[in-house]
Amino acid sequence: MSRIRHVSGSRPVLAGTAATTATLLIAALAPGASAAGRPTPAAALDHAAAALSDHAAALDLTDAQDTEVRDVILDEDGTQHVRYDRTYRQLPVLGGDFVVHLAPDGGFRGADRATDTPLSLPTVTPKLSAPRAAGLAANALRAANPGELLKRLTAKSELVVDALHGAPKLAWRTDAAALDSLGNPVARTVLTDAGTGARIDSWDTVESVSGDGKSLYGGTVPLETTRNGSSYQLKDATRGGTYTGDAEHQTDLCLLTLCLVRAPATLFTDADNHWGTGKADDRASAAVDAQYGTDATWDYYADVHGRSGIAGDGKGSYNRVHYGTRYNNAFWDDGCFCMTYGDGDGTTFGPLVSLDVAGHEMSHGVTSKTAALTYSGESGGLNEATSDIFGALVEWHADNSADPGDYLIGEKVVRDGFGRNALRSMDRPSRDGSSADCWSTSLGDLDVHYSSGVANHFAYLLAEGSGARTVGGVAYDSPTCDGSTVSGIGRDRLGDIWYRALTVYMTSSTDYAGARAATLRAAGDLYGADGAEYAAVGAAWSAVGVG
C-alpha cells in the first residue's frame, strides 16, 4: 500500500533525445571562435548544408521546397544539431520541421523529422477564400466562449501546407482574437482545409491568467489558469494545456493495459481565481497541490534540462484527484498520459498529492518517452529509482519553504499509522524494511519499488557523500556497502548525469551494470573521463556493490 505505481501503456520510441541533453544553446548564429576547439555555429551551418545536399532524397527535399534554420545546438563534445523549418512553394509547412545531427567532424549522423510523409500537392491555389476561412475561425472563437459578447473580434488567415494531420494538404491557418465582456483577451488558432472548408484542428492561443491557490502541503502557491467566461478553469496554457480534474471517487475499469472505462477528470473551476482553502474538506485544495506539482515538475525539466513537457513536445498532461474511496496510492498511466491521486485513508496516508510524488509520477512519463525501462527485474528498479531521483530534484528545484527539498519521498503524505516518516529514504533505503541498500544477484527478484533502493542509495551518495550529515535541516546517515568513503558532487550534477544517461544511453533492458556504464558515459560526456565527476560516479556505484 505504500508503493507509488506506474501503469504501462504504449511506449513509442523517440529518436534523437541526445539533442536536448548536455547542450550549449547558441543564441546567435554569427561566426566566431568557440571554446575548447568546438565547431562554431557557422561551421555547424556549413556542415548541415552539406548534409542536406548529400541526403536530400532521404529527407524528401525537392526543388519545390526551401529550408530555414531555426536553431543550432552544440554539445560539449562538438556534436552538432541544426533545426530547420521547411516551406513548400514558399508556403510554411506545419510538420515540416526536422533536426539534422552531425558528428564533431561534421559527418552526418541522422535526422529527426516531425513527419516522414513526402511533400507533394497538385496545386497551391485554394478553393476556399481567405475571408471565408476567417469567418469560420471567428465562429470557432465564439463557440469556444459561449455566452460571451465578444468585442473587437479580428481574424487573419495565412495559407500553409498541413503535414501534421495525415496526408499533406493545403490549409488556412487563421488567428482569431477578441476581448471578452470583462475586457480580457481571448484567442484561437483554427486550421481549415483550403479545399473543402472542413476544420482540421483548433487550439486556444491567449488564455492564461495568473491566480493562486491554498494547497494542502505547499502553502499558498501561484497558478496559471484559464478564463472561461466569468469563471476560471484550473488549466495552464503556458505549460502545454496541463489541467487538473476531479475523479469524483470513481475508478478505471481496465483489463491489462486496455481501459474500458476511465474515471472522469471533471475540470475544476473557480469564480475568483483564488483556489482552495488549504484544508482537505475543500475538494479544490488537493487539486491545487496536483496542479502546482505538475507546474513545478514542468519547470524543473524545462529550466534544468531544456525539456518541454513530459514527451519533450510541449504538450501537457492532466491530473485526476479524489480517485476511488480512501485510495492509498498515486500512479502515472501512459494510456491516458495522466497522473492520478488518491485521497488516502487518513490513517496511514493523507491525499497523495505532495510535490515529490507529483515529480515522481511525471518522471515515469519521461522515462516512458526516453529509455522506456521495462517495469520488471533490475530495469524496473531503475525505472522506479529514476522517478524517486527526479521527484526529489523537483522538490529541491521548487524551493518552497513550506515543503523544502530533501532525500525523503512522500514525507508529506504519510500519517502516524504508517509507522515511519516517509515512503522511502534515499540515504538508507533499507529503513523501510524491504528495500535493498546494496546490489546482489537476487536483486532482480525483488518488487521494483524495493530493488530501486540500490539506485536511490547511489544517487544520494553521488550527490551528498557517505556518512552522517545534515542537509537542509534533515539528518541523514548513509553507510557504504564496501566500507569506502564517498564524496558527493552535488544535486545538480547528479541530475545532469542521470538525465543524460536516461535519455541518451539507457534502453528498455538496462540493468544495474548497464546503468553504471551509462552514467559513466554521461559523466564523461559532461565533465570529461578524467574528471572528478567521472571518478565519483564509479566510486558511488562501487559503494553500493555495482561494479
| Positions marked catalytic | 361, 449
Strand pairing report for 424-425 and 318-323? unpaired
Tell me if residue 189 falls in helix, strand or coil. strand
* Rounded CA separation 504/62 (Å): 32
* Rounded CA separation 40/497 (Å): 25
* Rounded CA separation 543/481 (Å): 5
The length of the chain, given as a count of residues:
547
Q: Which amino acid makes up residue 20?
A: T
* Rounded CA separation 227/246 (Å): 18
Tell me if residue 457 falls in helix, strand or coil. helix
CA dihedral 392, 397, 398, 401 (to 10 degrees): 80
Strand pairing report for 330-333 and 5-7? parallel
* Rounded CA separation 487/79 (Å): 31
The angle that helices 512-527 and 491-500 make with each other, rounded to 10 degrees, is 110
Please, are residues 211 and 275 in contact by the beta-carbon 8 Å criterion?
Answer: yes
**CA-closest candidate to residue 259, choices 515, 517, 460, 9:** 9
Q: Is the dihedral of CA 305, 309, 312, 314 positive or negative?
A: negative
Place of cell 541522422: 110
* Sequence-ordered strand ranges (E) for 194-234: 199-206, 208-214, 220-228, 231-233
Tell me if residue 75 falls in helix, strand or coil. strand
* Rounded CA separation 176/209 (Å): 19
Residues 6+ apart with CB under 8 A from 7: 257, 331, 332, 333, 334, 335
Give helix then strand counts, H and E, for the chain: 10, 28
- Maximum separation of any 2 CA atoms in the chain, in Å: 77
Half-sphere exposure of 170 (CA within 13 A, CB side): 20
292, burial (CB in 10 Å: exposed 0-12, middle 13-18, buried 19+):
buried
Please, are residues 68 and 48 in contact by the beta-carbon 8 Å criterion?
Answer: no
